[in-house]
Amino acid sequence: MAALPSPNFGPRRGGVRPSLIVIHYTAMESCAAARARLCDPAAEVSAHWLIARQGAVEALVDEADRAWHAGAGAWAGLEDVNSHSIGIELDNRGAEPFAAPQMDALERLLAEIMARWAIPAQRVIGHSDMAPTRKSDPGPRFDWRRLARGGLSVWPEAGEGADPGDFAAAACRFGYPPLPLETLLQAFRLRFRPGAVGPVTPLDAAMAANLALRFGVDAPPAPA
């Protein structure tokens, strides 16, 4: 595993430990270009990890430090996401499938980070989850269901349809920041129902309700 430290980091505010993992795509033409930007002091952006299409994994910032990857946003009531998270950048322009070697490497890295910091699967999120008004990464081509099957993220177990009027409250209990309904729905579907259009459906509401029940801020603790 190569290491190429970025100068773009600082201490985690308040001395907090990372409790989130945020997944991004680079939206650049190559891994080399992304690496150069993430390590450029003038750019003032970085991430803890960068994974190339071919599966090479590079450490850019020590996980104990605060990388500058998330920006403005919130998740599960946490507003300084940079201080509370570890950021992973995937070499991908944003409109293409994620390469198999890259996904394999991501799964290995996620398992290591989650074990190292005791981060549960529901705290592995996308940039678009915590910043829905600004970001769309890792985008509709990212395979969240695959990560969930490996216990590296979560997926709803929707049953019967629910009241569409309850969707926004359930989505926010799961972790999404309180935003207008249209914004919440777009962010939720980008991750859990790519390609879905139109107003909130009973299926959207059921999926959000299931996630809120199992993983929301007021959900009961998981059995030991």
Mind telling me the catalytic residues? 89
End-to-end CA distance of the chain: 33
Taking a C-beta distance cutoff of 8 angstroms, is the pair 82, 89 a contact? no
Q: How far is CA 46 from the centre of its chain?
A: 15
Q: How far apart are CA 182 and CA 175, in angstroms?
A: 16
- Expressed in percent and rounded to 5, the helix, strand and coil fractions of the chain are 35, 15, 50
Element of type H or E holding 182: helix 181-192
Q: How far apart are CA 213 and CA 208, in angstroms?
A: 9
User: Buried b / exposed e across 162-201, counting CB within 10 Å, b at 16+?
Assistant: bebebbbbbbbbbbbbebeeeebbbbbbbbbbeeeeeebb
